[in-house]
Amino acid sequence: MSAAPTLIQASLRELGAALAAKRVSSVELAQLFLDRIERFNPVLNAFITVDPDKTLAMARAADVRLAAGSKDCGPLTGIPLAHKDIFCTEGWLTTCGSKMLSNFVSPYDAHVVDRLNAAGMVTLGKCNMDEFAMGSSNETSFYGPVKNPWDTGRVPGGSSGGSAAAIAARLAPAATGTDTGGSIRQPAALCGLTGLKPTYGVVSRYGMIAFASSLDQGGPMAKSADDCALLLNAMAGFDSRDSTSLERPVEDYTRDLGKPSQDLRGLRIGLPKEFFGAGMADDVRAAVDAALAEYRRLGATTVEVSLPNSGLSVPAYYVLAPAEASSNLSRFDGVRYGHRAAEYVDLADMYAKSRAEGFGAEVKRRILIGAYVLSHGYYDAYYLQAQKIRRLIANDFTEAFRHCDIIAGPTAPGVAFAFGAKSDDPVQMYLSDIYTISTNLAGLPGMSIPCGFGAGNMPVGLQLIGNYFDEARMLNVAHRYQQATDWHLRMPGGL
Amino acid sequence: MSLNPDQVERIARLARIELSPAEAAQTRDRLNAILGLIEQLQAVDTTGIAPMAHAVANGHAAQRLREDVVTESDRRATYQAIAPEIEAGLYLVPKVIE
């Protein structure tokens, strides 16, 4: 297959065009990526489960749809993608990166999986992740750490690190991710990708294994904003099975991309002064500053804004997210599915041993913190106080958006770090998400796009934060930058 | 605020997670570091601020109520196929009542 180097670098639109013109079949495309997974995954560990028979059956079904050339086909029909192992996929192992679910073959599909299947996308496999999405480096996975394809001595970020590494290494053209405190945007930044966390409520959480339900949101990860817009079109939409899914008119998230009337002249980009302080590494600052200069060249103006309470976002998050996690993860009890201890003396002992064996150290810590902040005598001081601070953080954004159309800054304070650099110090690890968490607390949409390289030739991400439901504009702002630059097309060497 | 060993044991019991003595000591150190991080919330004046429990509670959208009708179909056999131990359509657990 001489077209292979082009196909692994192709955009989703280019893949769609190649399929429509019969230059490649869905089966050939799936096989190309399955071969790459077989070759590179033993080093990268980006996938937990690969099942070529299932993948090729889906690809054959897509080829039938494509051959019929009917109205049944859409822009994504026949294109392969990978799913973060947090999304339930019927008949596939769905582990959430945990021993607790190491035997869980999902009896149903998540809404997102349902939608992407209906669009004719072909599942390449299930991507590794931090256990129950709790981590910023992929080091907490029961299945071992994922390696960053740019430097296999460094972390890919987390928790959607397997998804990020898979795309960066061109083992998949796109992947699903989830973002509770930065888990799409931070690995996208550390692996040189484009990733989008939608406004809370835009993408259904049905079948997405819950971590912190008031913050969790699924979204697309791919090479470009254009790819992400196409994927979001398929992923977004009302779902009655998620009580927080919002009933809104269907949107075309690609509608502004490349439209002459939607150029960046007059766009006001807000720069939160709190995001440009001492916490940001010099190499990240240089790349972000250069990206902002490019935006000014494209006609945008930059204006300083303030998010005075954003420094409280990490501590507030580490009350609220563990509190919700301790409640959500109480369902894992060894009774209905998942891991059950082999030996126990009574029911209480069975619970305690099954959970002790099934959960890793970071998950246990978060459950324990959550149980503590929710316990009698501490609820008001911790949990309620954190909810009030969450309101202050959300209000800061409301005020900032009075002065700008979109917010920009770094996605992560530094480039990808070495394995073990932060894994012994949970607080240092938590601070990896210092620029991303406030967006989740407020429920706003956010993106990370590649904007250059820093120390060790590692990718740097620019974060964009939009107002509620402003994904289409945010995607266009990212797309214009990607039309003027080629950072998003760079790929690691040796692959 | 820092946790003593008895408090760690109590929280672990509440959370139904068995901790070995060695694990308990390390867990306590890590939990205390995390509590140190969240301690700074105490210094913030939040008088008159309404708690925000949810991202859709910020005024830009509202949660809906659905009709009170049955929406689930019977999938017991499918769900029980992945259970650790079942019998006659029931999930089995150790005896709780003598």
Please, which residues have CB within 8 angstroms of residue A263's CB and are 6 or more apart in sequence?
A: A298, A299, A480
With 50 as the cut, is the pLDDT of residue A35 above it?
A: yes
A102 burial class (0-12, 13-18, 19+ CB within 10 angstroms)? middle
Question: Which residues partner with A82 through β-bridges?
Answer: A175
Per-residue model confidence (pLDDT) at position A258: 85
Interface of A with B in 186-205 (CB under 8 A): 200-201
Q: For A236-246, what is each residue's pLDDT tens digit?
A: 999 999 999 99
From residue A372, give the alpha-carbon distance in Å to each of A41, A157, A433, A471, B34: 40, 28, 23, 37, 12
With 50 as the cut, is the pLDDT of residue A2 above it?
A: no
Pick the CATH number of A4-265 from 3.40.50.970, 3.40.50.2300, 3.30.365.10, 3.90.1300.10: 3.90.1300.10
Q: For A472-491, what is each residue's pLDDT tens digit?
A: 999 999 999 999 999 999 99
For the segment A271-285, the average pLDDT, to the nearest whole number, is 95
Cβ–Cβ of A386/B94 closer than 8 Å? no
Q: Rounded to 5, what percent of chain A is helix, strand, coil?
A: 45, 15, 45
Among A30-39, A121-130, B24-33, the least confident range = B24-33
Report residue A74 as tokens: 């859409």
Cβ atoms of residues A239 and A111 within 8 Å? yes
Q: Where are the domains of chain B?
A: 1-44
Element (H, E) at A57: helix A52-68
Interface of A with B in 321-350 (CB under 8 A): 326, 330, 333-338, 340, 344-350
Confidence of residue B57 (pLDDT cuts 50, 70, 90): low
CA atoms within a 13 Å half-sphere pointing along the CA-CB vector of A107: 13
Query: Which one-letter DSSP state was computed for residue A424?
Result: T
Report residue A465 as tokens: 């934060």
Per-residue model confidence (pLDDT) at position B3: 93
How many Cβ atoms sit within 10 Å of the Cβ of residue B4? Answer: 10
With 80 as the cut, is the pLDDT of residue B98 above it?
A: no
For the segment A154-171, the average pLDDT, to the nearest whole number, is 98
Confidence of residue A4 (pLDDT cuts 50, 70, 90): low
A294 burial class (0-12, 13-18, 19+ CB within 10 angstroms)? middle
Report residue A27 as tokens: 């089966």
Confidence of residue B71 (pLDDT cuts 50, 70, 90): confident
Note the residue count of chain A.
Answer: 495
**Nearest one of A206, A187, A214 to A127, comparing CA atoms:** A187
The Cα of B89 is separated from the nearest Cα of chain A by a number of Å equal to: 12
Per-residue model confidence (pLDDT) at position B58: 64
From residue A215, give the alpha-carbon distance in Å to each of A181, A209, A317, A332, B57: 7, 13, 9, 20, 12
- Average pLDDT taken over every residue of chain A: 96
With 80 as the cut, is the pLDDT of residue A108 above it?
A: yes
Confidence of residue B60 (pLDDT cuts 50, 70, 90): low
Q: For A298-320, what is each residue's pLDDT tens digit?
A: 999 999 999 999 999 999 999 99
Cβ atoms of residues A80 and A173 within 8 Å? yes
Q: For A180-208, what is each residue's pLDDT tens digit?
A: 999 999 999 999 999 999 999 999 999 99
For the segment A48-62, the average pLDDT, to the nearest whole number, is 98
Please, which residues have CB within 8 angstroms of residue A91's CB and are 6 or more apart in sequence?
A: A54, A105, A106
The Cα of B49 is separated from the nearest Cα of chain A by a number of Å equal to: 6
Report how far residue A82's alpha carbon sits from residue A122's, in angstroms, rounded to the nearest whole number: 8
With 70 as the cut, is the pLDDT of residue B59 above it?
A: no
Instruction: Name residue A45's amino acid.
Output: N
Confidence of residue A234 (pLDDT cuts 50, 70, 90): very high
**Which residue in this structure is represented by tokens 């019929």?**
A68
3-state SS assignment for residue A52:
helix
Per-residue model confidence (pLDDT) at position B2: 87
Residue from A326, A343, A380, A391 to probe the interface with B (highest B Cβ count within 10 Å): A391
Query: Which one-letter DSSP state was computed for residue A311?
Result: G
**Separation of CA B39 from chain center:** 21
Of A368, A386, A425, the CB nearest to B27: A368
Report how far residue A207's alpha carbon sits from residue A212's, in angstroms, rounded to the nearest whole number: 14
With 90 as the cut, is the pLDDT of residue A388 above it?
A: yes
From residue A475, give the alpha-carbon distance in Å to each of A180, A198, A231, A391, A472: 20, 11, 12, 27, 5
For the segment A349-354, the average pLDDT, to the nearest whole number, is 98
Question: Dihedral through CA A74, CA A77, CA A82, CA A84, nearest 10?
Answer: 40
Confidence of residue A426 (pLDDT cuts 50, 70, 90): confident
Which CATH fold topology does B1-44 show?
Histone, subunit A (1.10.20)
Question: Residues A185, A446, A306, CA angle at the centre, nearest 5°?
Answer: 115
Q: Is B15 on the interface with A (CB under 8 A)?
A: yes
Residues of A assigned a catalytic role: 84, 159, 183
Q: How many CB pairs under 8 A join A and B?
A: 181
Q: For B31-51, what is each residue's pLDDT tens digit?
A: 999 999 999 999 999 999 999
Helix axes A225-235 and A111-118, enclosed angle (nearest 10): 110
Instruction: Name residue B95's amino acid.
Output: K
**Nearest one of A207, A217, A211 to A185, comparing CA atoms:** A217
The Cα of A336 is separated from the nearest Cα of chain B by a number of Å equal to: 5
